[in-house]
Copies of this chain bind each other. A is one copy, B any other.
Amino acid sequence: METASDVLRAGDVEIRTSDGLVIAGGRVIPMSLREYRLLRALVQRENRIVSREDLYRLAWDAALRDGDRSVDVYIHKLRVKLERALPGHAFIHTHFGFGYRFAQEPAPALRDATARR
């Protein structure tokens, strides 16, 4: 049996919480435990900013210690895997000083922040 709550979806990313399977674009993406729990925490909060402290608590079940960069490192690993599975998309967005936000968006075109005038 499969209830609706067994599957998390956000864009083309699908997480089967019943067996810990991650599927992106129809293909299975192998994830380590940390990767999986971090991604799940983000996808469950799609489109919302989640602080490092919350992410660490959700994926590590412990309080984030000062100076611990683990979250950053695993965010990077997830980005690589997701980008590899679904090129041309941005999934995990950094909100400076706030945290990270999951949302499938078209690939960021070239930078043009100050290119006007």
**B-chain residues with CB within 8 Å of residue A57 when the two chains form the complex:** none
A3 close to chain B: CB less than 8 A: no
Assembly stoichiometry (copies): 2
Partner of A19, one of B16, B19, B96, B98: B98
Contact present for B33 and A48 (CB under 8 Å) = no
Contact present for A103 and B20 (CB under 8 Å) = no
Residue of A18, A19, A28, A50 ringed by the most chain B CB atoms within 10 A: A19
A2 CB, min distance to chain B CBs, angstroms: 10
With A16-B48, A48-B16 as known contacts, state yes or no: A101 contacts B32, CB within 8 Å: no
- Bound-state Cα–Cα, A98 to B96, Å: 32
A87 close to chain B: CB less than 8 A: no
Partner of A103, one of B28, B47, B97: B28
A51 CB, min distance to chain B CBs, angstroms: 8
Q: What are 27 inter-chain pairs, A to B, with CB distance below 8 A?
A: A16-B48, A18-B48, A19-B48, A19-B49, A19-B50, A19-B98, A19-B99, A20-B49, A20-B95, A20-B98, A21-B47, A21-B48, A21-B49, A21-B95, A21-B101, A28-B47, A28-B93, A28-B101, A28-B103, A30-B93, A30-B95, A30-B96, A32-B96, A32-B97, A33-B96, A33-B97, A33-B98
